[in-house]
Amino acid sequence: MATPTRTDAALMTRLASNRYWSEREGRAALAAWRASGSSMAAFARAHGLEPRRLGWWNRQLGAERGPARLLPVKLVERAAPAQLSNLTPPARSSGAMEVALANGRRVRVDARFDEAALLRLVRALEELPPC
């Protein structure tokens, strides 16, 4: 783990007290974090920075780290019907859907449901205590 220079320490002190960072300051904070060898949370804690802010800058400027890593993909043939015989066949779809909420409630909607109304209903149901 690299020890911070006086400039880094002064910068981190200034950034900890600033409400807004410029892109240049965000880049400097990320460079200091990466050079530290610490986890983002540990680095932020040590310098009085908000870990979410450092993470936000990392996401904003992270695209500059290089190209995305490609992973190998293996295509396989679809299973033959005989291999699927132990599975329960799906019920004939009427277009209806069932949504399981985090609090255990379930909501069934018709294929022609109103998305905005469903969203309002789900939000209201999530706020209620479990049955």
- Per-residue pLDDT of 3-55, as tens digits, reads 555 557 788 888 888 888 899 998 988 888 888 888 888 998 899 998 899 88
The residue among 51, 67, 57 whose CA lies nearest residue 26 is 57
Give the predicted TM-score (pTM) of the model: 0.44
Range name among 22-36, 62-76, 92-106 with the lowest pLDDT average:
62-76
Question: Helix crossing, 23-36 with 40-47: angle to 10°?
Answer: 110
130, burial (CB in 10 Å: exposed 0-12, middle 13-18, buried 19+): exposed
Tell me what pLDDT residue 89 has: 53
